[in-house]
Amino acid sequence: MSPDPGLFETTRCLCLAVRRASRAITREFDQALRLHGLRATQFTLLSALHLGGSRSIGDLAEMLSADRTTLTRNLAVAEKHGWVTLRADRNDARSRIAAITTRGSRALEAALPTWRNAQQRLTETIGEQTAASLRKLAGGPCMMPLPEKPSANRKEKMR
Amino acid sequence: MSPDPGLFETTRCLCLAVRRASRAITREFDQALRLHGLRATQFTLLSALHLGGSRSIGDLAEMLSADRTTLTRNLAVAEKHGWVTLRADRNDARSRIAAITTRGSRALEAALPTWRNAQQRLTETIGEQTAASLRKLAGGPCMMPLPEKPSANRKEKMR
DNA sequence: GTTTCATATGTGTATATGCACCTAATTGCC
DNA sequence: GGCAATTAGGTGCATATACACATATGAAAC
C-alpha cells in the first residue's frame, strides 16, 4: 500500500528540481515578455549578442551552455523575426557569424523594463540568497566573455 | 565600443540562470539514463506515478509544475513505450487516469542505481548548500501529494 | 429538466532541446 | 602540394514545453 521505499529518494531529484523551477520561471518571463513578442530564450539570445557583440554559432552555444544545433534553430527563429542576421565568417567559410539587427536591439530595449520587472518580482519571491545560489549554479555571469575564450574586441576570428 | 550599460544587468537574469542550469543538468541525467532507454522527464513521470499512485493528467501536471498539455504529450510517449496505461475515470468520463505498468516499474527500478549515481555526482559538484537551495526553489518534495490535494489512498476521484 | 457555467482533456501550432549522422572547410604533418 | 585529422555547421528525428482553441462532461441554478 505504501510506496516503494527504494524510490522515495527520487523525490529529492535535483534534475526534477531544476527542471520544475525552470518551467515555472520560464512561464513567468515568457508571459511578461509576450507583450513585446519575445520569449525568454530569444530575449537572452539578443541580450548576449547585444552585449557581447557578433559571434559564431558555436561560441554562442558554449556561452549559453546549449547544444550547437539548438542555437542553429534558435537563431533561425530570431532571423525570421528580423532580430539577427547570419553571415559567413570572412576568415573561415565554415563559420557563420550572428549579429543583432537594429530591429533586434529595439525589441530588446523595448522589453527591458518588462524584464526588469519580472526579475525584480522573482527576486523578491525567492529571496536574494536563493537567487545568488541560482546564479552560482549557472556558473556566474553567463553572457560575459570568459577569460579562456575572449572575443569582446573582435568581430571575426583572430588569425 | 563597450556594451550598453543599460543592458548589463541582464547578465544577472535569473531566467537565464535557471534555464542554463536546467539544460546542463538535464543533459547529464539524460546521458546517464540513456543506457536504460529513459530520459529525465520520463524517469520523473514514472517515479511520480510509482510513488504517488495512479493520477489524472491534470493532477500530474500540477504536481510537476508543468502545463497540462505537456503532460498529455509526455504521457503519450510513456504509453508508446508501454510504461504507463491511460484509462477513463470510472466516476468522471472527462478525466483520464494514468497508471504505471509492470514494465514501467521495471524500467524505473533498473534505472535507479544510475539515477542515484548521477544525483550523487551532481550533489558533490554543486555542494549540499546549493542543492538545498535548488530543492527549496522547486518547492519541496515535488512528487509527494500535497495536503491541499490529497489522493494517496484513492485510485479514483472521491464523490 | 433545461440552461448555464465550470472542469478535464485533446489538437494545432510554434518554439526549445539535443543526439546521430552528414558535408564542407581548415589545419597539421609529411 | 597532398592527405589525415580536426573543426564548424546543417538536417532528420524524437522529445519537451506551452498557448489558443475546440470538445465533452459534470455541476449548479432555476
Average pLDDT over residues B6-31: 94
Residues of chain B contacting residue A108, judged by C-beta atoms under 8 Å apart: 7
Evaluate if residue A133 carries a pLDDT over 60. Answer: yes
Q: What is the pLDDT of residues B95-142, one digit of tens each?
A: 999 999 999 999 999 999 999 999 999 999 999 999 999 998 887 444
Which bin fits B37, alpha (ψ -120 to 50), beta or left (φ > 0)?
left
pLDDT of residue A5: 64
Give the confidence band of B7 by pLDDT, cuts at 50, 70, 90. Answer: confident
Q: Is the distance from CB of A43 to CB of A29 less than 8 angstroms?
A: yes
CB atoms within 10 A of CB B2: 7
pLDDT of residue B138: 84
pLDDT of residue A52: 92
Q: Does the CB of A73 fall within 7 Å of any strand C atom?
A: yes
Q: Does A110 fall in a domain?
A: yes
Q: CA-to-CA distance for A66 and B130, rounded, in angstroms?
A: 22
Q: Between the CA of residue A55 and those of A5, A91, A103, B11, what are the distances in Å?
A: 50, 13, 18, 17
Evaluate if residue B51 carries a pLDDT over 70. Answer: yes
With a CB-CB cutoff of 8 Å, which residues 60-89 of chain A face chain B? 64-67
Which grid cell is A158?
583572430
Average pLDDT over residues B23-44: 96
The pLDDT > 90 percentage for chain A reads: 79
Question: What are the b/e assignments for A26-39, b being 16+ CB within 10 Å?
Answer: bebbbebbeebebb
Q: CA-to-CA distance for A77 and A84, rounded, in angstroms?
A: 9
Q: CA-to-CA distance for A141 and B100, rounded, in angstroms?
A: 42
pLDDT of residue A157: 40
- Residue A66 is classified by DSSP as -
The mean predicted confidence, pLDDT, of chain B is 86
Q: Is the distance from CB of B17 to CB of A134 less than 8 angstroms?
A: yes
Q: Does A125 fall in a domain?
A: yes
Least confident of A126-140, B39-53, B55-69, B104-118: A126-140
DSSP A109-132: HHHHHHHHHHHHHHHHHHHHHHHH
AA letter at A143: M
Q: CA-to-CA distance for B49 and B41, rounded, in angstroms?
A: 12
pLDDT of residue A4: 56
**Which range marks the domain in which residue A72 is found?**
40-138
Evaluate if residue B18 carries a pLDDT over 90. Answer: yes
C-alpha dihedral over A25, A31, A37, A39, to 10 degrees? 10
pLDDT of residue A138: 84
Q: What is the pLDDT of residues A17-50, one digit of tens each?
A: 999 999 999 999 999 999 999 999 999 999 999 9
Q: Does B154 fall in a domain?
A: no
AA letter at B81: H
CATH number, residue A73 = 1.10.10.10
- Residue A146 is classified by DSSP as P
Question: Closest by alpha carbon to B139, among A18, A7, A122, A40?
Answer: A18
Q: What are phi and psi of A28, to 5 degrees?
A: -55, -50
Q: Does A52 fall in a domain?
A: yes
Q: Is the dihedral of CA B54, B35, A57, B15 positive or negative?
A: positive
Q: Is the dihedral of CA B31, B36, B37, B41 positive or negative?
A: negative
CB atoms within 10 A of CB B17: 24
Helix (H) or strand (E) holding A16: helix A14-33
Average pLDDT over residues B137-150: 45
Strand D nucleotides in reach of protein CB atoms, 7 A cut-off: 7-12, 14-20, 24-27
CB atoms within 10 A of CB A5: 8
Residue A14, chain B, CB below 8 Å: the answer is yes
Burial of A95 (0-12, 13-18, 19+ CB in 10 A): middle
Average pLDDT over residues A96-115: 96
Give the confidence band of B5 by pLDDT, cuts at 50, 70, 90. Answer: low
Q: Does the CB of A74 fall within 7 Å of any strand C atom?
A: yes
Residue A123, chain B, CB below 8 Å: the answer is yes
Task: Provide the domain count of chain A.
Answer: 1
Q: Is the distance from CB of B14 to CB of A123 less than 8 angstroms?
A: yes
Q: Does A18 fall in a domain?
A: no
Q: Does B7 fall in a domain?
A: no
Q: Does A14 fall in a domain?
A: no
Q: CA-to-CA distance for B37 and B22, rounded, in angstroms?
A: 20
Evaluate if residue B150 carries a pLDDT over 90. Answer: no
Give the confidence band of B39 by pLDDT, cuts at 50, 70, 90. Answer: very high
Q: Does B1 fall in a domain?
A: no
